[in-house]
Chain A
């Protein structure tokens, strides 16, 4: 199935640990994103990569380090986890960078199912 898939779906860990969430898309998109949805359900962009190059980096603690080995993968590594990092993290992809016109014209975001991180 063509999709944005992220693993793991659930992650429970202790404060201070380091963890990673992986994301892969087989849609042939050039741009990938990480969004964070907190307990109040606000969905905020964290990072965006276009063809492995970082193009958006919101005010995110440097404990968060995205890595894009190729344009189909965007992983998120989090060091020294804190209680406030508990959230659902969504990976997404689009044909072109945000604001650009895509071949299909819509340049919509396709989201993964989310990874719920709980820090104890």
Chain B
């Protein structure tokens, strides 16, 4: 079962920042927050991930609250090409045993 909740859809004006929220109130200490997006008719694409610090890369920024129960993906200057379904996922990425099943929820359609 997905461990995250996201709004089903959001709108954003082109050129403005898109802020996509995600709640993960049951996140464990060793679970990371990952964001993927799926553009229509394509496979999901990795965007960014983080544990507790804010992260930034060429695609986006990830802001994680201090209690780690929620996060926000920020696309600084959204364009039409950013139209996609955005998935927020929590997963372990720090062990060398077990086989966690990476589960995608319903995501947010931007």
Which A positions have Cβ atoms within 8 angstroms of B? 4, 41-45, 48, 50, 55-56, 58, 90, 92, 97-102, 105-114
Contacts and interface: CB of A to CB of B under 8 A. Distances in A.
Given A42-B104, A100-B93, A111 B98 contact: no
Interface string B69-100: 00000000000000001010001111111111
B29 interface: no
Nearest to A100: B96
Interface of B: 34, 36, 38, 41-46, 49, 85, 87, 91-104, 106
Contact of B102 (A41, A42, A98, A106): A98
A65 to B, nearest CB: 19
Interface SS of chain A: helix, strand, loop or mixed? loop
B93 A114 contact: no
Contact of A111 (B43, B92, B100): B43
B86 to A, nearest CB: 13
B93 A92 contact: no
A106 B49 contact: yes
A99 B85 contact: no
Given A99-B91, A107-B93, A113 B43 contact: yes
Given A45-B102, A58-B101, A112-B43, 12 more contacts: A41-B106, A42-B104, A43-B104, A56-B101, A92-B44, A98-B99, A98-B102, A100-B96, A100-B97, A101-B94, A111-B43, A113-B42
Contact of A108 (B34, B41, B99): B34
Contacts of A90: 43-44
Nearest to B32: A106
5 contacts: A92-B44, A98-B100, A111-B43, A114-B41, A114-B42
